[in-house]
Structure 1
């Protein structure tokens, strides 16, 4: 995986949320992408692909980042807020944390909306679910065996 794109109505506000609330680092601050290069890339997908974009993630040299995109000349809709977790398409973004109880409490203190009332234990991981202000669903995962990938905690 290289990145996950998140479309938002205000790039600066989204970067502030991901930085100040979730603790992601701003790896590339908001900048406008316009002109022939972006039209050649996306012009067949979006009537006017002029955008303000930023990259947030972890400063670990990896490609595991969120690409935050605000289309400047095309209106978007807030369909994600009405989407069900079971709808087809992108379902959620997973984040690993070391102390799920503390992380949840910190995010609740910052006003993050959680989708479940507590923390679950499933397949040797602890989980809890929340949503960002634009309807993107996240799951926080605490591994029981930190040295192993989250999907191989069991066994």
Structure 2
């Protein structure tokens, strides 16, 4: 059976630019720098999904956080589109990625100073977490979460 969450894939038009954003603006660590994946193995994996699955990929995440990472993917032989930027948060499918921070106000101020576009005007307090929402340059929606009880998972803050 399924035993954990491995990664969330983010498709971008420029892998290096995306890695720089996630590293320099969001503060994620580059766990595996951009590299090209091509050949029979990637065709066996994704050839039925993508006409040319040749890609440049990287992994970004956090120290000691195991498999919960972002896989940043640029398909080299197939053009993508920006349909996600027109998607509503209520559309079916992946809606957002949650990121934990220790000081929501300072984190939001840092991101705003770096040109990050926020989707809400301020910060909300709900179920003993503080939250605010933003979007990356490629239309992926993120929620920042500051836990009131850092030792507990975010979903167990209440009670």
Give the TM-score, by structure 1 length. 0.99
2:64 partner SS = coil
Ranges in structure 2 where 5+ consecutive residues have no aligned partner? none
Provide the aligned length of Structure 1 versus Structure 2: 155
The question of 1:117 aligning with 2:128 is answered: no
Q: CA deviation at 1:59?
A: 2.1
Aligned to 2:107: 103
Q: CA deviation at 1:61?
A: 5.2
Give CA-to-partner distance per residue, 1:49-90, whole Å, 9 cap, x none. 000000000121500100000000001010010000000000
Q: Output the CA distance in 2 between the equivalents of 1:87 and 1:67.
A: 22
Q: How does 1:56-67 map to 2 (within 5 A)?
A: 56-60=60-64, 62-67=66-71
CA RMSD of aligned residues (A): 0.6
Q: Output the CA distance in 1 between the equivalents of 2:31 and 2:84.
A: 26
* Equivalent of 1:26 in 6, 25, 30: 30
Give CA-to-partner distance per residue, 1:109-148, whole Å, 9 cap, x none. 0000000000000011000000000000000000111111
Aligned to 1:94: 98
Give the TM-score, by structure 2 length. 0.96
Give CA-to-partner distance per residue, 1:4-42, whole Å, 9 cap, x none. 000000000000000000000000000000000000000
Ranges in structure 1 where 5+ consecutive residues have no aligned partner? none
Q: Output the CA distance in 1 between the equivalents of 2:31 and 2:152.
A: 26
* Equivalent of 1:11 in 5, 9, 15: 15
Inter-CA distance 105–67: structure 2 relative to 1 (3 Å threshold) = same
Q: How does 1:47-86 map to 2 (within 5 A)?
A: 47-60=51-64, 62-86=66-90
Runs of 4+ that moved beyond 2 A: none
